[in-house]
Structure 1
């Protein structure tokens, strides 16, 4: 009973905060400010910290599979929320299709960015340590006719026009998490049923959001790369704006999945579900 009370209090506070119009409308501005000014943190952080190593557990476990973690938790939350309200598999699949669209967009941009880097880059071979040094840096010798894969396999350096795919992914995942979970606050305010599994999934989504923000700050502070990180953040924000602020606002149809919560946040429908649940399960936990 105590743990359930703690769960209800935490999820209610988080849902109320993330469901506010102020947070939803200005979160992208906060994220943009982090990307723009985050590299300045490199002046104060210690480069001997465990987060200054790219083989850190958080980077290997979460950053390299960030889209998978986002799909697992957000997809589970969206499916459980939509199916528990309408009991319609087609409606749940329609809402899940937003993740598929965002995933396809992310993969497409990553492929285009990889092609851009290959087309604009060159292979360089560093001279042996201590041979020729200018301003503390070893000089590089250009190697022509090498592809990126061949260059990296040979242990050489590839320099091209880069856009940070990690920053792009983290920004897109953060904005997607905010959009998809923001409907939980209005859902609870309308008297929606709030089982423990749904609340736990929502809480995991909130924790994942803060983890992505933390990893974003770590990358900006410990591995500053201007302007590649700025371009990655801009691409993530533009992708979110094109999807959630543009295409999804056209309304549900065969070519558009619609906005989060559309067709779900209905007072009459939710009220009927609550009444049915009260008749079948008198001790069922729900919020008024």
Structure 2
């Protein structure tokens, strides 16, 4: 129990204040650019990390929004009910996960559309021979071809979006009322699980930046992820008809300031 509370205090002091979230958005953009430069100018040798079949990629990154969604769902429900005692407030805040799901769906669909309209079907990954008679990616793949188009990095979009969403939602733990609440143990356990998940997302985002895609594909993807966070938590959720910010958060939290731990 003491170890769990210690982890919560450390993570809360390091990551949950408004300035930390803003700085992290800039840091993530810097990682995307820096990793891209490493890939282009000083490429690293192949390793387990750039194997698309590695465990973290197959079982975590490919389902990153699902992992984020299903851990945030009970966390948001418990923390919001503990602070507001209102089922309506809980449901309103849970709708932020619906918004996140819509953003995920629309952005990934747009990326696939861009890849479709800019792509062609080739015999192999070396783009040796054009198979122009295959008109879309599905048909190309079904016939053993390789579809090559402008592939905006979905990982570069989704991982920053998940990371920033987790930090926004877990910032509710800055409210001192949750420290001694009867639901505190369950909330802290979910919080630590979300912290571990965030570390995995940051690590895999770094791997994506260093090993995969080209610089524009990653920078555009990352920009979409940061923009999705900015439009929701920094603007729309401040408006009356929205899921709203976590309890205790106001527009003042969006300005640089210092908070007591």
* Smaller-chain TM-score bracket: 0.7 to 0.9
Moved over 4 A (4+): 189-192
Q: Does 1:257 align with 2:246?
A: no
1:233 aligns with 2:219: no
Q: What is the alpha-carbon distance in structure 1 between the residues aligned to residue 4 and residue 38 of structure 2?
A: 34
- Counterpart of 2:255? none
Residue aligning to 2:98: 100
Structure 1 residues 37 and 189: alpha-carbon distance in aligned structure 2, compared to 1, 3 A threshold: farther
Offset of residue 142 of structure 1: 4.3
Q: Please say if residues 61 and 155 of structure 2, whose CA atoms lie closer than 8 Å, have aligned partners that are also in contact.
A: yes
Asked whether the 8 Å contact 1:36–1:230 carries over to 2, the reply is yes
**Could you tell me which residue of structure 2 aligns to residue 22 of structure 1?**
19
Scaled by the length of structure 2, the TM-score of the pair is: 0.87
- Out of 34, 38, 42, the position equivalent to 2:35 is 38
Structure 2 stretches lacking a partner, 5+ long: 251-260
Q: 8 Å contact 1:126–1:141 — kept in the other structure?
A: no
Q: Greater relative contact order: 1 or 2 (C-alpha under 8 angstroms, separation 6 or more)?
A: 2
Assess, with a 3 A threshold, how the Cα gap between structure 1 residues 95 and 144 changes in structure 2: closer, same or farther.
same
Deviations 1:27-70 (A, max 9, x none): 111111111112244436431x2112111111111011111100
Residue-by-residue CA offset, 1:144-200 (whole Å, 9 max, x unaligned): 35321111111212122221112111111011111111221x213786526211111
* Cα shift readout 1:80-131 (whole Å, capped 9, x = no counterpart): 111122222111111111111011111012122222222222212249xxxx
TM, length-normalised to structure 1: 0.79
Over alpha carbons, which structure has the higher Rg?
1
